[in-house]
């Protein structure tokens, strides 16, 4: 694959009307001289965690392939959406939210990933902290694999930062594999400059009693695409997600999250809180997919979007797919403006409209930023929110 190609990414699992323009998105990256450089920096690792650096992306999927019979076990009578059978292809390492075109890009450009392994039974006593400190003009492509062995637990914090007026490209692929009884907590905070194009592609799989907890903040960049696909492969697995986002100016944010329920008594909860301002645009796709055999499973997805301008473009597509009877699925979206009653109340107390908007933005985003476990990155994120408008 060439980086001149318009990649098709964030494909909705089941297509809807074309005129809605939510079935997928495209990413054109030919304007960037992408390299494998600008390697992320990681702080000292906790005890019981090792890292294998700069593994070629094309080779990194062997961890998943060894467990493919459990991760992607065939489902009787099941056909993948749109006729796609890649989820059961033995050459497919693990599905991600943005899709196969990102894998092709990573392979064709020789990108590498760092593989972090948490040994069996280890409860990491501090987070793995990975920093992308980007400079103006940087263009990089890289990734991580987080492999938590049986009954282990680890927290990973990844921060993307740059100067406010910087431009460039950052593409990152992160895959998570939680073995039996293991838990992975992944926190990502994106504070890139006004001119950055950024994609963040996440894929995860949980074996029996495994858990993945995802916290993300998308605050910077002019064009951001992000996707997460978590395979709840076996019984009693859990996926939770909390996202906060702010889209302003003429910037664009494109989101695709999928919880794939395959095992019995699995659970997924996805929460999204965000603000759109000025001429910004955002597309959100959230899918709960109950496959045959996922009896007793529960899924819930909720989005709460605040629109602070009449010129914003907001597209929200919550989806529930179901091939199993004994399941419970809920979805909802609250899309609203700053009410006149609330504005009047604040103005009677000496708070003008601009300050009222700042208060509302801060309240929404601080609730997600408060979940960041690293004090330095949390403080940097809260400061960014404080000064973003």
pLDDT value for 108: 87
For residue 79, is pLDDT > 50?
no
DSSP 8-state code for residue 52? E
Number of domains in the chain: 1
Picking from 87-91, 139-143, 249-253, 341-345, which range would have the lowest pLDDT averaged per residue?
A: 87-91
- Domain-located, residue 131: yes
Question: What is the value of pTM for the model shown?
Answer: 0.92
The predicted structure's pLDDT at residue 72: 65
Residues 6+ apart with CB under 8 A from 44: none
DSSP tag of 7: E
Q: What is the CA radius of gyration of the chain?
A: 20
354, part of any domain: no
How much is the mean pLDDT over the chain?
88
Q: In this predicted structure, which of 4-13, 151-160, 303-312 has the lowest mean pLDDT?
A: 4-13
Using 50, 70 and 90 to split pLDDT, how confident is the model at 96?
very high
Q: What is the pLDDT of residue 142?
A: 93
Average pLDDT, integer, range 321-341: 87
What is the pLDDT averaged over residues 242-265?
A: 97
Q: Please give the pLDDT value at position 86.
A: 43
In whole angstroms, what is the distance from residue 247 CA to residue 279 CA? 9
Residue at 374 is within a domain: no
- Residue ranges of the alpha helices (H) in the chain? 57-60, 62-65, 68-71, 100-108, 340-347, 353-369, 375-386
Tokens of 126: 């501090």
Domain assignment present for residue 54? The answer is yes
Q: What is the mean pLDDT of residues 249-256?
A: 97
The pLDDT, as a whole number, for residue 20 is 85
Task: Tell me what percent of the residues of the chain surpass a pLDDT of 70.
Answer: 89
- Region 108-112 average pLDDT: 88
Of residues 344 and 176, the one with the higher pLDDT is 176
Domain presence at residue 23: yes
Q: Is the dihedral of CA 281, 299, 157, 368 positive or negative?
A: positive
- pLDDT at 78 > cutoff 60: no
In a domain, 351, yes or no: no
Mean pLDDT throughout 139-154? 95
Angstrom distance (rounded) from CA 97 to CA 159: 19
pLDDT, greater one: 121 or 61: 121
Give the pLDDT band (50/70/90) at residue 344.
low
Is 44 within the bounds of a domain? Answer: yes
- pLDDT bin (cut points 50, 70, 90) of residue 339 is low
Please state which of the ranges 197-206, 274-283, 290-299, 351-360 shows the lowest mean pLDDT. 351-360
Average pLDDT over residues 167-173: 94
The rounded Cα 388 to chain-centroid distance in angstroms is: 22
Assigned token pair, 81 = 């959406």
- In tens, the pLDDT along 203-252 reads 999 999 999 999 999 999 999 999 999 999 999 999 999 999 999 999 99
pLDDT band of 349, cuts 50, 70, 90 = confident
Structure tokens, 66: 């060894």
For residue 251, what are the domain limits?
Answer: 6-341
Is residue 361 in some structural domain?
no
pLDDT digits (tens, 9 = 90+) for 17-69: 888 889 999 988 766 677 654 568 788 999 999 999 999 988 887 777 777 67
Residue 134 has pLDDT above 50, yes or no: yes
């Amino acid at each position: 694959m060439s980086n001149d190609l318009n990649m098709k990414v964030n494909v909705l699992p089941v297509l809807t009307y074309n005129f809605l323009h939510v079935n997928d998105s495209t990413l054109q990256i030919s304007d960037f001289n992408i390299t494998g450089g600008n390697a992320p920096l990681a702080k000292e690792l906790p005890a019981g965690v090792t890292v294998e650096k700069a593994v070629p992306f094309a080779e990194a999927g062997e961890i998943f392939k060894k467990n493919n019979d459990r991760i992607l076990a065939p489902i009787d009578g099941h056909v993948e959406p749109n006729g796609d059978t890649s989820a059961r292809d033995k050459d497919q390492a693990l599905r991600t939210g943005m899709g196969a075109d990102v894998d092709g890009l990573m392979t064709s450009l020789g990108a590498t990933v760092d593989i972090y392994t948490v040994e069996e039974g280890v409860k990491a006593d501090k987070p793995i902290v990975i920093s992308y400190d980007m400079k103006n003009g940087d263009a990089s492509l890289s990734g991580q694999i987080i492999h938590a062995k049986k009954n282990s637990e680890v927290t990973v914090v990844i921060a993307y930062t740059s100067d406010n007026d910087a431009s460039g490209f950052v593409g990152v692929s992160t895959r998570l594999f939680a073995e039996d009884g293991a838990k992975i907590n992944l926190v990502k905070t994106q504070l890139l400059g006004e001119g950055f194009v950024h994609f963040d592609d996440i894929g995860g799989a949980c074996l029996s009693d495994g858990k993945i907890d995802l916290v993300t903040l998308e605050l910077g960049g002019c064009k951001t695409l992000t996707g997460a696909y978590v395979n709840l492969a076996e019984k009693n697995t859990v996926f939770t997600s909390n996202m906060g986002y702010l889209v302003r100016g003429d910037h664009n944010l494109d989101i695709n999250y999928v919880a794939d329920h395959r095992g019995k008594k699995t659970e997924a909860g996805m929460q999204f809180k965000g603000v759109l301002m000025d001429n910004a645009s955002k597309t959100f796709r959230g899918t709960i997919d109950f496959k045959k055999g996922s009896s007793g499973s529960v899924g819930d997805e909720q989005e709460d979007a605040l629109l602070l301008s009449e010129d914003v473009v907001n597209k929200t597509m919550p989806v529930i797919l179901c091939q199993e009877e004994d399941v419970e699925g809920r979805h909802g979206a609250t899309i609203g403006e700053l009410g006149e009653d609330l504005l009047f109340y604040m103005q009677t107390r000496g708070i003008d409209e601009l300050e009222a908007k700042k208060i509302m933005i801060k309240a929404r985003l601080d609730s997600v930023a408060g979940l960041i476990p690293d004090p330095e990155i949390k403080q940097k994120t809260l400061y960014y929110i404080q000064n973003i408008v």
